[in-house]
Amino acid sequence: MGKGKLYGIGVGPGDTELLTLKAAKILEKVPVICAPRASNEKESIALSIVQPIIDKRADRKKVMIVAPIFPMKKDIENLKRHWMEASIIIADYLNSGRDVAFVTLGDPSIFSTFTYVQKNLETNYEIEVVPGITSFTACAASIKKPLVEKNEILTIVPKIDERLNDILSHGDCFVIMKASRNSKKVEKIIKKDPREKTITSVQNCTQENEKIIDGFSKEKPYLTTTIVKFDEE
């Protein structure tokens, strides 16, 4: 019996309808779905996005759901242990000949938990990566404004630190992911830039509780994206 194949599937920002046809087809037939979550108390957001697809399967009761914990912590050694544990569980299923779909919010190549599992398993297993809708293009769609046009430069920043000071003058549009974590600091850096700008934040993009905010978000939910667009000169 051959080994199973590992799919890294981007499930998009929240709305099940933003799954790709390809992702939906894989999720309609794969025997094992692996959906990381932040803690024992929290549901996996990626799993909740694909749940309607699973619920429609005739064999839904036989689908194996694995929900390893990938804590949102900074202790890198502890994180590595969690990633390795999850990789070993996935490898067990692959060794038994079953395909595994690892579902990840947004796209698997942009700040994704899938990256760590992929690095652990890519030498020994066949892997296929299925791209997903990124949160920032979904946010742009929600606010109905383009991110970049013509010769503009787009920069995606995962969190705020002193680097924003250095890069701000070199770009036309900045996407700040997980922006709610440090918004005072970002605000200060961005307001220093003398160019005319539009700042918009989107919370829980494409989900039922989506909220569009002029400027920065004062609340602290995990899924906030801020778009800073400088006007054309």
170 strand-pairing partners: none
Please give the C-alpha separations between residue 126 and each of 97, 98, 156, in angstroms, as whole numbers: 12, 12, 30
Mapping DSSP to helix (H, G, I), strand (E, B) and coil, where does residue 69 land? strand
Which of 41/55 has CB closer to a copy of itself?
A: 55
97 alpha carbon, distance to own chain's centre: 28
The whole-angstrom separation of Cα 170 and Cα 36 is 36
Note whether 132 binds a copy of itself by CB under 8 A.
yes
Binding mask 92-111 for a copy of itself (x = CB under 8 A): ---------------xxxxx
Binding mask 60-99 for a copy of itself (x = CB under 8 A): ----------------------------------------
Q: Residue 185 has which token pair?
A: 């600091």
Which of 69/154 has CB closer to a copy of itself?
A: 154
Nearest to 189, CA basis, from 213, 218, 166? 166
Which of 9/32 has CB closer to a copy of itself?
A: 9
- Chain positions 176 to 195 lying near a copy of itself, rule: CB under 8 A, are none
Question: Which one of residues 80, 163, 184, 192 is an interface residue with a copy of itself (CB under 8 A)?
Answer: 163
